[in-house]
Copies of this chain bind each other. A is one copy, B any other.
Amino acid sequence: MQSGDLIKRLEGLGFGEADARTLADHFLAAEARGKTGHGLSRVAWLETRPFELDPDARPKCLLREPGYERWDGNGTLGYLTLAAIVDAQLAEPPDHARLVVAQRTFPTGMLGYWTRRLAEGGVVAALTATSPARLGHPDGDRKLTGTNPLSIAIPSSGGDPVVSDVSMGRVTYGDVLAGEAGEDELVPFGGEHAHKAFALAVGLQLLVDSLVGEPAHGAVLLVARPEADPVPELRARAAGLRLPGDR
């Protein structure tokens, strides 16, 4: 699908041209990386109105300090909240480090898209986000935690940041939405070591849940100014092996 057509389709949901373009860029980037569960399948999903959409809503920055910000999605799509947060960090990077808590922020999409934008702007970034509880305990059926990906992106003087982006699920709910996996595959990854992925998902879930001021899905972003440039040396040692985020 062409960007112009997708923007029109998103405008059909009520979004203005700028927001539609922001959303389209994310969905098409997900498609381009083969993460179809965060791509066009999500547009079809939004068209089912899985929750109330308020295309006129705008995220709010509730608190801004040098090392801490708290944002509220304020009824907008999580993608747009993260886009606003990324823009704000790039406009005013931290002197050293800053934690950004984004409450009422859902859905957040392919987290590596946001951290990559930060790393390409010279900022170290680590981002996690919660989603509905779809992962069960390895020893029980009850769904206790979201798949809660963790993405870490590191700038590189070579222009080729490393961008890891790992969901704790064996598959993602997006894969289920995209028809590429069954819901029964939505378990912590790792097979005999699934307790490790479950523990990571629970830790990230509670990290977000303990930092947001409203009990709803949210995101936590760490941004920092790099003191060193470790990517070129790692790429040299990897000698051509694919590193996280490479195509």
Binding site for B on A (CB under 8 A): 63, 65-68, 70, 94-99, 101, 124, 126, 137, 139-140, 142, 144, 150-155, 162, 164-167, 170, 189-193, 196-200, 202-207, 209-213, 215, 222, 224, 226-231, 234, 237-239, 241-244
Find out whether the CB atom of A124 lies under 8 angstroms from the CB atom of B66.
no
Which one, B203, B229, B243, contacts A164 given CB within 8 A? Answer: B203
Find out whether the CB atom of B99 lies under 8 angstroms from the CB atom of A224.
yes
What is the oligomeric copy number? 2
User: A222 and B99 in contact (CB under 8 A), knowing A68-B67, A203-B152?
Assistant: yes
Measured CB to CB, the closest approach of chain B to A222, in angstroms, equals 7
Find out whether the CB atom of A96 lies under 8 angstroms from the CB atom of B96.
no
Decide if the interface of chain A is mainly helix, strand, loop or mixed: mixed
* Chain B contacts for A196, CB-based, 8 A: 166-167, 189-190, 197
User: A209 and B191 in contact (CB under 8 A), knowing A139-B242, A199-B166, A200-B164?
Assistant: no
12 A-B pairs whose Cβ atoms sit less than 8 Å apart in the complex: A67-B97, A67-B98, A99-B222, A126-B203, A126-B207, A164-B202, A189-B196, A191-B192, A200-B200, A205-B230, A210-B229, A213-B227
Measured CB to CB, the closest approach of chain B to A162, in angstroms, equals 6
User: Once bound together, how far apart are the Cα atoms of A124 and B226, in whole Å?
Assistant: 24
Find out whether the CB atom of B99 lies under 8 angstroms from the CB atom of A202.
no
Find out whether the CB atom of A228 lies under 8 angstroms from the CB atom of B244.
no
Measured CB to CB, the closest approach of chain B to A72, in angstroms, equals 12
* Chain B contacts for A209, CB-based, 8 A: 154, 228, 230, 234
User: Once bound together, how far apart are the Cα atoms of A243 and B96, in whole Å?
Assistant: 34
Instruction: Name A210's closest neighbour in chain B (CB-CB).
Output: B226
